[in-house]
Copies of this chain bind each other. A is one copy, B any other.
Amino acid sequence: MNQPTHSSLPVDAQMLRDKDALLANYHKTRDISVRMTADLEVEDQVIQTCEDVSPTKWHLAHTTWFFETFILLQFDQSYTPFNDQFEYLFNSYYNAVGPQFYRPERGFLSRPTVTEVHCYRRHVDEHVERCIRQMYEADWLKAAAILETGIHHEQQHQELILTDIKEVLSHHPMHPAPFAGPPKREVQDASDLDWLSFEGGLTSIGRHIGEGEPFAYDNEGPLHQHMLTPFEIACRPITNGEFLGFVADGGYDSPLLWLSDGWAARQNHAWTHPHHWHCQDGEWFQYTLHGLKPLVKEEPVCHISYFEANAYANWCNARLPTEFEWEHASRGYASHDGNFFDCSKDPHTGKVRGPSPTVSAAAPQSLADPFGSVWEWTQSQYAPYPSYVAAQGALGEYNGKFMCNQFVLRGGSCATPYGHVRHTYRNFFPPNARWQFSGLRLARYV
Contacts and interface: CB of A to CB of B under 8 A. Distances in A.
Contact of A225 (B168, B172, B227, B306): B227
Q: Which of A85, A229, A380 has the most chain B CB atoms inside 10 A of its CB?
A: A229
Nearest to A254: B95
Nearest to A205: B227
A325 to B, nearest CB: 10
Nearest to A402: B260
A109 interface: yes
A431 interface: yes
A226 interface: yes
Contacts of A169: 110
Given A229-B386, A405-B261, A172 B43 contact: no
Nearest to A173: B85
A101 interface: yes
Contacts of A229: 224, 386-387
A31 interface: no
Interface in A390-414: 397, 401-405
Given A85-B174, A227-B227, A386-B445, A404 B110 contact: no
Contact of A259 (B47, B258, B404): B404
A191 interface: no
Contacts of A225: 227
A43 B41 contact: no
A173 B88 contact: yes
Interface in A159-174: 168-169, 171-174
One complex includes copies of this chain to the number of 4
A46 interface: yes
Interface in A1-58: 41-44, 46-47, 49, 57
B397 A172 contact: no
Contacts of A41: 110-111, 113
Contacts of A259: 401-404
Contacts of A387: 229, 445
A246 interface: no
Interface in A85-140: 85, 88-89, 93, 95-96, 101, 105, 107-111, 113-114
A82 to B, nearest CB: 13
Given A85-B174, A381-B381, A402-B260, A47 B431 contact: no
Given A255-B95, A387-B445, A405-B405, A110 B168 contact: yes
Given A46-B43, A224-B229, A256-B95, A110 B176 contact: yes
A354 to B, nearest CB: 15
Contacts of A291: none
A387 B232 CA distance: 12
A87 to B, nearest CB: 11
Interface of A: 41-44, 46-47, 49, 57, 85, 88-89, 93, 95-96, 101, 105, 107-111, 113-114, 168-169, 171-174, 176, 202, 224-227, 229, 255-256, 258-263, 306, 379-381, 383-384, 386-387, 397, 401-405, 431, 445
Given A42-B43, A43-B57, A110-B169, 17 more contacts: A43-B114, A49-B105, A85-B174, A88-B173, A96-B256, A111-B174, A111-B176, A224-B229, A229-B386, A258-B401, A259-B403, A259-B404, A260-B402, A263-B401, A381-B383, A381-B405, A404-B431
25 contacts: A41-B111, A41-B113, A42-B43, A43-B111, A49-B108, A85-B174, A88-B173, A95-B255, A101-B173, A105-B171, A110-B168, A110-B169, A110-B176, A111-B172, A226-B227, A229-B387, A256-B397, A261-B402, A262-B404, A306-B404, A379-B383, A380-B383, A381-B381, A381-B383, A381-B404
